[in-house]
Amino acid sequence: MDNQRLLIWATFALLAWMTWTAWQQDYGPQPQPVADTPPEQSIETLDAEETLPEFDDADDGVPAAPNEPDPQVSEPQDSAATVITVLTDVLEVEISTAGGTLQKATLLDYPVAKDAPDTLITLLETARLELGLVRTGLRAAGASLPDHNAVFDAEQKRFELGDADELVVPLSWSDGSGVTVEKRFVFRKGRYAITVEQELANGTEVDLRADAYAQVLRRSREQERSMFDVDSYSFDGPIVFDGEKSEKIDRDDLVKGGALEIKTDNGWVGTIQHHFLTALVPEPGVAHAYDVRLINSNAVARASLVSPRGTVAAGSSKTYSMSIFVGPKLQSQLEELHPRLKLTVDYGWLTILSQPLFWLLSFIYDFVGNWGVAIIVVTILIKLAFYKLTESSGRSMAKMRNLQPRMKALQDRYKDDRQALSQAMMDLYKREKVNPAAGCLPILIQMPFFLAFYWVLLESVEMRQAPFALWITDLSSRDPFFILPLIMGAAMFFQQKLNPAPADPVQARVMQIMPVIFTGFFAFFPSGLVLYWATNTLLSIAQQWKINRVVEKESKEHKGSKKKQKKD
């Protein structure tokens, strides 16, 4: 029994060490950018290759014209493009009239750090080291349409949502031949999704064969990955959904294998960085071609989508519509935009447990209004759900504790015969109906919930910088005064006192210092995780204390019954 228990604790300690290492790698001091980072470039000269995925003519059921040229992206125009500022209740966005490019997006409710509330998260920007752009455009075979290099006209340079529920920012373009395009950006109150509508009016006497496209461009660099979950944890880079599953595209795969191209009628594409997402989500049910590649000497990742090429008849118009999500990975808003967009919140291999755990936390949070209180309530519910299972284990532990004097006597009697001692111990367990491995069960139950809570706390932006009470102002970061880890360590120490001590003095010593080791580990964990473990430990103490009293009472009654039978 003692060896099994020690093995479980050693395994748990190893997992804790790996988790701490992951935390340090992802949140500790980061290496400075390498010196050979490509120099600053203007938006107009960002990439030399503008190849985009295209549909064959048969894809849209429209016959091709003989020798019809492929749609082309125009050369950058030398013009004095202006910048439009859009302010909503959650976003401040800059739109360049050159192509209607989203060149800056600041999240007004998300500071970079809790102690620097005025320094806000910026997902899109033109600075080379943190480059982020969203470009949209139209292309036509044998005709000129406004792509991301064309210059649009704007009615004004600043738009504010104010108290309205919706804000429309219109841009217009015309080539003087009768073809006009109005590009509309639709912002909504409290929403990070931006609807982009490109209305193409063909006022000529010839049909146009056109398609629409969109691109997310994001700086790309080597990423130091966590050893805890190399494939998925805190991924920074492009992601694509092919209609069935999402795939995070590793930088090395793009460097070695080139572009990734897929076609689907229910997909999306974008880039993620821990809690935040920039994604292109087209209308469902319409097949689009998706393309992800590295450009500019592998310094920039470009994720693109292109609609099927279709005919806009002379004298008619057509509107191409899609959504751009630029913001935090709020799961409720992601699901509204696309049912599978919440896959960008990746809980790793424990998604099956973390996802319902997050749902339960969110449900309780809606009532209590505090994520720390929600964690405590969920911990209590988990404890209640497994109460019967852990109760049987607790009873075995209590019986083992009562058997300590008899076990010590057997050890003294057979101290020179390990085999005889082992047999005598097993006979004692059998007579008293005690399971020596029962103490492992609570730990085995707690481990997956511990890890699931870890993922939920680190991956769920809803808990980012969420306060609890008193000195705990951010559940996703460590306790600044290490008070909660000390409370947890003390609780673990008292919990051990309620359980039978290992017979081996060396193992007993290891078990005594285990609370100290865990306190050191947990000192650097998110305080929300420490809150869960401390609450769980306190509940375990209360449960074991009650069980010990019940078992002691039953034991006394049993002994009294035996004495009475002997007298009779």
The token pair that represents 551 in the structure block: 């078992």
Give 107-118 pLDDT, tens digit per residue: 999 998 887 888
Number of Cβ within a 10 Å radius of residue 168: 12
Higher pLDDT, 66 or 170: 170
Among candidate residues 438, 388, 409, 432, the one with its CA nearest the CA of residue 555: 432
Q: Which amino acid is at 290?
A: Y
**Coil vs helix vs strand at 244:** coil
Sorting pLDDT into bands at 50, 70 and 90, what band is 35? very low
Mean per-residue pLDDT of the chain: 77
Ranges 262-266, 380-384, 558-562: which has the least confidence = 558-562
Q: For residues 568 and 559, what is the distance between their CA atoms, to the nearest angstrom?
A: 14
Residue 13 has pLDDT above 70, yes or no: no
Residue whose structure tokens are 């060896």: 3
Give 54-78 pLDDT, tens digit per residue: 544 333 333 333 333 445 455 555 4
pLDDT value of residue 25: 45
Q: What is the pTM of this model?
A: 0.77
Q: For residues 184 and 323, what is the distance between their CA atoms, to the nearest angstrom?
A: 11
Ranges 186-195, 273-282, 438-447: which has the least confidence = 438-447
Instruction: Read off the DSSP letter of residue 72.
Output: -
Residue 454 has pLDDT above 80, yes or no: no
The token pair that represents 347 in the structure block: 């809980």
Rg of the chain (C-alpha set): 31
432: exposed, middle or buried (Cβ count in 10 Å: 0-12, 13-18, 19+): middle
Higher pLDDT, 9 or 481: 481
pLDDT value of residue 198: 95
Q: Which of 3.20.20.70, 1.20.120.160, 3.40.50.970, 2.70.98.90 is the CATH number of 82-222+235-334? A: 2.70.98.90
Give 349-359 pLDDT, tens digit per residue: 778 888 888 99
Among candidate residues 140, 300, 141, the one with its CA nearest the CA of residue 219: 300
Q: Are strands 83-87 and 158-160 parallel, antiparallel or unpaired?
A: parallel
Among candidate residues 18, 2, 15, the one with its CA nearest the CA of residue 444: 15
pLDDT value of residue 524: 80
Domain boundaries defined on the chain: 82-222+235-334, 354-555
Cα–chain-centroid distance for residue 548?
Answer: 42
pLDDT value of residue 564: 56
pLDDT value of residue 38: 39
Q: Are the C-beta atoms of 469 and 369 separated by less than 8 Å? A: no
